[in-house]
């Protein structure tokens, strides 16, 4: 097992992802273990932000804005499956929204922990608290998306929905940038034989291009992958594996590395699970291009080819994951 022997990895989480997203009982129990050794948090009651609010009228349906929320699901056709198609995307987008907020909190806490005098890292409890939540939400996304695998009526509404495509998910791009995707690998993915981009991409760039450029600039050195590299730099050892082994003797670093591993596992799971879903559904409707205009099989493999791994040396366990890393191989994967 080499230098990682001090760390007792979650074996199941190193297993090759098979797209089912299912956890066994033992693994579930492990995943429920508190990961961070946090100081007790004192939760003091806060007043409503708006002092004039009549909280006696704050009923469940009002507080969670249920009527407005449910009114957001508006199928274009009479298909009895289109509502599910929209609902699954909306569930994922609501999860993405929460993940972005929690990932921003994680990064702020990481910046402080990695600026601390203490080596290899200061207190990581805050970062682990928020990152664990992000991982659990990613699990929700990855458990929700496959509901569409068995959807039988895509052909009823696909031709009616225009250029809409997950390719245009600005929240997903934001998440990717926060996690450390430094180059917009998706750009030009919809180019046709004449070199023209599809309206799905042109319109996305017109509407969100400036924001995306802003995120890329803001997070160039403020993202998970960057802080993972900073953590490695602060550990002793000549090679990545030696440094990781040293970090796994430190509880705060261990908690963080386990969560980063799980985060990347979920991100990889998303890309591969989604590719399998698209292959299945597009085969059912006999399409060779996505509604967003990509030759989807080649395009959807881009992330794997051009970006993975985010955290070199840590996993996930697959042949290419740590290619080029001195001392290569995944310490968690053995
Ligand atoms: C029937 C279900 C689905 C099909 C057939 C499908 C198909 C596709 C295809 C073909 C693409 C490539 C772009 C294009 O040409 O349109 C794509 C991209 C994408 N889809 Fe889906 N999708 C489905 C469900 C979902 C769901 C539920 C989500 C959750 C938000 C999602 C999120 C994404 C994202 C984020 C991308 C961009 C991925 C990347 O750039 O690597 N998709 N989808």
Ligand 1 probe mutation, 75, 158, 166, most atoms within 8 A of CB: 166
Question: Tokens standing for 323?
Answer: 């290619």
Q: Residue 227 pLDDT more than 70?
A: yes
145: CA distance to ligand 1 center in Å?
10
89 lines ligand 1 (CB under 6 A): yes
The verdict on the CB of residue 13 being under 6 Å from ligand 1 is: no
In this predicted model, what pLDDT tens digit does every residue of 112-141 receive, in sequence order? 999 999 999 999 999 999 999 999 999 999
What distances in angstroms separate CA 154 from CA 167, 174, 224, 299, one per listed residue? Answer: 18, 28, 36, 21
240 close to 257: Cβ distance less than 8 angstroms: no
Q: Region 81-92: what's the mean pLDDT? A: 98
Of 93, 176, 178, 177, the residue nearest 137 (C-alpha): 93
pLDDT classification of 39: cutoffs 50, 70, 90:
confident
3-state SS, one letter per residue, for the chain: CHHHHHCCCCHHHHCCCCCCCCCCHHHHHHHCCCCCCCCCCCCCCCCCCCCCCCHHHCCHHHHCCHHHHHCCCCCCCCCCCHHHHHHHHHHHHHHHHHHHHHHHHHHHHHHHHCCCCCCCCCCCHHHHHHHHHHHHHHHHHHHHHHHHHHCCCHHHHHHHCCCCCHHHCHHHHHHHHHHCCCCCCCCCCCCCCCCCCCHHHHHHHHHHHHHHHHHHHHCCCCCHHHHHHHHHHCCCCCCHHHHHHHHCCCHHHHHHHHHHHHHHHHHHHHHHHHHHHHHHHHHHHCCCCCCCCCCHHHHHCHHHHHCCCCCCCCCCCCCCCCCCCCCCCCHHHC
Question: pLDDT-derived band of residue 3, with 50, 70 and 90 as boundaries?
Answer: very low
pLDDT, tens digit, 9 for 90 and up, residues 7-34:
233 333 333 223 333 333 434 334 445 5
- At 144, give phi and psi (nearest 5°): -80, -45
Distance from the alpha carbon of residue 75 to the mean position of ligand 1, in angstroms: 18
Please, are residues 144 and 68 in contact by the beta-carbon 8 Å criterion?
Answer: no
Nearest residue to 36 (alpha-carbon basis) of 274, 234, 255: 255
- Alpha carbon distance 100, 206 (integer Å): 22
Instruction: Please report the atom of ligand 1 found closest to the CA of residue 300.
Output: 41
Q: How many Cβ atoms from other residues are within 10 Å of residue 136's Cβ?
A: 15
Q: Which ligand 1 atom is at minimum distance from the Cα of 293? A: 15
pLDDT tens readout for residues 302-322: 999 999 999 999 976 543 333
Pocket mutation for ligand 1, best pick of 274, 287, 294, 302 (most atoms within 8 Å of C-beta): 274
pTM of the model: 0.87
* In the chain, domain spans: 80-333
The pLDDT of residue 17 is: 27
Classify domain 80-333 by CATH architecture: Up-down Bundle (1.20)
pLDDT of 185-218, one tens digit each? 999 999 999 999 999 999 999 999 999 999 999 9
How far is residue 313's CA from residue 138's CA, in Å, rounded to a whole number? 22
Q: What is the pLDDT of residue 319?
A: 37
Query: Which ligand 1 atom lies nearest to the CA of residue 96?
Result: 30
How would you label 20-57 residue by residue, b for 16+ Cβ within 10 Å and e otherwise? ebeeeeeeeeebeeebbeeeeeeeeeeeeeeeeeeeee
The residue with greater pLDDT, 6 or 119, is 119
- For residue 322, give Cα distances in angstroms to 89, 247, 308, 319: 32, 18, 9, 7
Residue 99 C-alpha to ligand 1 middle, in angstroms? 19
Residue pLDDT, tens place only, 318-331: 433 333 233 334 44
Q: What is the pLDDT of residue 315?
A: 73
Residue 239, pLDDT above cutoff 60: yes
Model confidence band, residue 35 (pLDDT cutoffs 50, 70, 90): low
Say if residue 99's pLDDT is above 70.
yes
From the alpha carbon of 296, which atom of ligand 1 is closest?
Answer: 10
Query: Exposed e or buried b for every residue in 92-115, given b needs 16+ CB within 10 A?
Result: bbbbbeebbebbebbbebbeebbe
CB of residue 270 inside a 6 A radius of ligand 1: no
Average pLDDT of the residues in 89-101: 98
């Amino acid at each position: 097992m080499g230098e990682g022997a001090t760390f007792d990895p979650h074996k199941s989480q190193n297993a090759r992802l098979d797209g089912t997203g299912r956890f066994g009982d033992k693994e579930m129990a492990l995943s429920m273990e508190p990961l961070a050794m946090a100081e007790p948090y004192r939760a003091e009651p806060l007043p409503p932000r708006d002092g004039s609010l009549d909280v006696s009228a704050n009923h469940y349906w009002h507080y969670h804005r249920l009527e407005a929320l449910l009114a957001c699901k508006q199928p274009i056709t009479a298909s009895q499956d289109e509502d599910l198609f929209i609902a699954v995307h909306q569930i994922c987008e609501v999860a993405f929204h929460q993940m972005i907020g929690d990932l921003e909190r994680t990064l702020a806490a990481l910046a402080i922990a990695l600026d601390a005098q203490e080596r290899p890292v200061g207190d990581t409890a805050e970062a682990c608290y928020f990152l664990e939540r992000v991982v659990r939400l990613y699990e929700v996304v990855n458990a929700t998306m496959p509901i569409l695998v068995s959807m039988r009526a895509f052909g009823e509404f696909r031709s009616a929905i225009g250029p809409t495509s997950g390719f245009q998910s600005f929240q997903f791009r934001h998440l990717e940038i926060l996690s450390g995707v430094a180059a917009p690998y998706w750009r030009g993915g919809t180019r046709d034989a004449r070199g023209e981009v599809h309206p799905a991409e042109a319109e996305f760039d017109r509407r969100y291009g400036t924001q995306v450029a802003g995120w890329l600039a803001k997070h160039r050195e403020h993202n998970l992958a960057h802080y993972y590299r900073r953590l490695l730099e602060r550990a002793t050892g000549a090679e990545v594996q030696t440094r990781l082994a040293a970090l796994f003797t430190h509880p705060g670093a261990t908690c963080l590395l386990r969560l980063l591993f799980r985060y990347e596992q979920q991100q990889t799971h998303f890309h591969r699970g989604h590719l399998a879903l698209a292959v299945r559904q597009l085969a059912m409707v006999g399409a060779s291009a996505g509604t967003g205009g990509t030759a989807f099989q080649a395009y959807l493999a881009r992330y794997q080819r051009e970006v993975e791994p985010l955290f070199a040396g840590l996993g996930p366990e697959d042949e290419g994951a740590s290619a080029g890393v001195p001392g290569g191989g995944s310490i968690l994967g053995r």
